[in-house]
Amino acid sequence: MARVQLTDVTKRYEDVTAVEEMNLDIKDGEFITLVGPSGCGKSTTMEMIAGLTSPSDGTVMIGDRDVTTLPPKDRGISMVFQNIALFPHMDVYDNISFGLRLRDYEKAEIDRRVDDAAGIVQMEGMLDRMPDEMSGGQRQRIAIARAIVREPEVFLMDEPLANLDAKLRVHMRTELQRLHKELETTIIYVTHDQAEAMTMSDRIAVLNEGELQQFAAPLTCYNEPRNEFVAGFIGSPAMNFTNGDLTGSGFSSAHYDVTFPTEGVGISPGTPVTLGVRPEDVYPEETLDDAADPTELIDAEVDVLEPMGDEIFVYLMLAEDTESGMGGDVSGDDTLLMSVSPDSTLEEGDLINVALDRAKIHLFDDDTGEALVHGVARATGASADATGEEAE
């Protein structure tokens, strides 16, 4: 159990910078996830924590030791790999005890620890099997047992569930959470799957193009994404984005306007901004009451319905907003995804009115991509159509 600190960690290869000045301060016993699209530097970051790759710059601390130049074996870490990486020429017992044997532990101690570890991953009685006699799930449990048997200070997991089938993956997620509760060891987990990151971690570090975008609790990343990338990456289906401009009276795009006082936004009217809103924060006219603070109505046509069982995803085509006269660019953002309850009676082709929830609107600066505000205040009397004004 240890705190892990990365200070200005950078990895440059000849022509590319894989990781740029990464700063992470991971608390003792915390479960954190490095998440991002492929090539974002999350695996390189993990390799640098493990010592499999040495950073070009910066320092890595585990506990109160600077481990930047230590080989992997001296860092007090253990690791679970995406391709499982059990040694195929060793049986389960030899695989689990490999690290202990290398460290010359006494036989009795090794046996005790192997039994404990096998018990934790519920693989007792399989110790004399060979890896190729086992299923993918069993192998991954053995790999986890191999990692926990040394009682490391830090657990590194590099997409450990990526090669498992969907059902097993969900099951193993809960197993890992249980394991974390039981061991209380610091866990650093790498995945490209934001759902995995959201469900398991205490905090998630969102990476893109080698740079840390946001390092916060999952719900913070969801509700208050620090920039447009995080907003788009976290959450499924992804957040809707509409390009437009900040005006004196709110937001204006080619398809719709949203009025709100712009003083608090922090940049001057006339600047191009992007409005982001999640599908569940878009409401059809009939359930407008559910929104905390609905915006003006927006004309839309139901293009495609995707019933998911517990909700329906509604793909909307937005009409051109002729009144605003703000041409803007129409490309791509003339659609809006809305999620509605499964008892909705909408049908494809319906012409409907929808509104956004002001409290859940995000505005992003087009220049920097940084979030400007999360949720805007009610407009001062500008919106005539809004009906749920009194809603909390």
Partner 1 sequence: MSTEQPTGSAPRRERSGPYVAVVRWMENLSETQYAYLLLTPAFLLLGAIAFWPLVSTFQLSLFADSLGQASVGEFIGLGNYVAILTGERTALLPSPFLPQSLTVGAMFNSALAVTVVFTVISVFFETIIGFVQALVLDQNFRGRRWVRVAIILPWAIPIVVQGMIFFLMFQPNLGFLVGTSDNPAFLNQIGLLTTTPLANAQDATMIVIVADVWKTTAFMALLILAGMQSIDRSLYDVAKVAGASPWQRFKYITFPIILPTVMVAMLFRTIQAMRIYGLIETVAGCTTVPSLSCLVITTFNNRMLGSSATVAFITAAIIAAIVSVYIVGYARGDV
Partner 2 sequence: MNDDTTRPDGGVQTEPELKRGPFQRWINRSIDDPERAYRAMFYVATGFFLVTTLFPFYFLLVLAVTPEAAGLQLVPAAFDFGVFLDVFRQINFLRYMFNSLVLALTTTAIVLLLSSLAGYVFGRLEFPGRTPLMLLVLAISYFPPAAFFVPLYQLFTGNVIQGLVLYNTPGAMILPFSSLFMPLSIFILTTFYGQIPDGLEDAARVEGTTRLGALFRVIVPLSAPGVATAGVLTFIAVYNEFFFSQLMNNGQPENWAPIVGGLLQLQRAGQFQVTYGIMAAGSIIAVVPVAILVVVAQEKIVSGLTAGALKE
Query: Rule CB under 8 A: which residues touch partner 1?
Result: 1-2, 51, 54, 63, 69-71, 74, 76, 99, 103-106, 108-109, 150-153
Nearest to 352 by CA among 369, 367, 329, 336: 336
Q: Which range in 96-104, 280-288, 336-344, 360-368 contacts partner 2 by CB under 8 A?
A: 96-104
Quickly list H helices, the chain: 42-50, 92-102, 107-120, 136-148, 166-183, 194-200, 218-223, 228-233
CA distances from 130 to 18, 58, 140, 215 (A): 37, 41, 13, 40
Each as own residue / partner, the long-range contacts of residues 226-229 (CB below 8 Å, 24 or more positions apart, any chain) are 226/370, 226/371, 227/364, 227/368, 227/369, 227/370, 227/371, 228/274, 228/276, 228/364, 228/369, 228/370, 228/371, 229/369
Q: What is the contact mask toward partner 2 in residues 117 to 156, using x (rule: CB under 8 A)?
A: -----------------------------x---x-----x
107 touches partner 2 (CB under 8 A): no
Q: Quick one: 55 or 225, whose CB is closer to partner 1? A: 55
**Whether the Cβ atoms of residue 338 and residue 282 lie closer than 8 Å to each other:** yes
Instruction: Pick from 23, 69, 83, 174 the residue near partner 2 by CB under 8 A.
Output: 83
Q: Quick one: 152 or 232, whose CB is closer to partner 1? A: 152
Minimum Å distance from CB 71 to partner 1?
Answer: 4
Instruction: Pick from 23, 71, 124, 269 the residue near partner 2 by CB under 8 A.
Output: 71
Q: Which range in 76-84, 107-115, 167-175, 305-313 contacts partner 2 by CB under 8 A?
A: 76-84
**Whether the Cβ atoms of residue 12 and residue 183 lie closer than 8 Å to each other:** no
Choose the one of partner 1, partner 2, none that binds residue 151, judging by a C-beta under 5 to 8 angstroms depending on kind: partner 1
Choose the one of partner 2, partner 1, none that binds residue 92, judging by a C-beta under 5 to 8 angstroms depending on kind: none
How far apart CA 194 and CA 125 sit, in angstroms, is: 35
The three-point CA angle 297-249-286 to 5° equals 15
Minimum Å distance from CB 89 to partner 2?
Answer: 5
Window 18-57: residues binding partner 2 (CB under 8 A):
47, 50-52
Q: What is the contact mask toward partner 2 in residues 227 to 266, using x (rule: CB under 8 A)?
A: ----------------------------------------
Q: Quick one: 84 or 117, whose CB is closer to partner 2? A: 84
How far apart CA 204 and CA 108 sit, in angstroms, is: 39
179-207 burial code (b ≥16 CB/10 A, e <16): bbeebebbbbbbbbbbebbbebbebbbbb
- The span from the first CA to the last CA of the chain, in angstroms, equals 44
Q: Quick one: 150 or 192, whose CB is closer to partner 1? A: 150
Q: Point out which residues bind partner 2 (CB under 8 A).
A: 47, 50-52, 71-73, 77-79, 81-89, 98-99, 102-103, 146, 150, 156
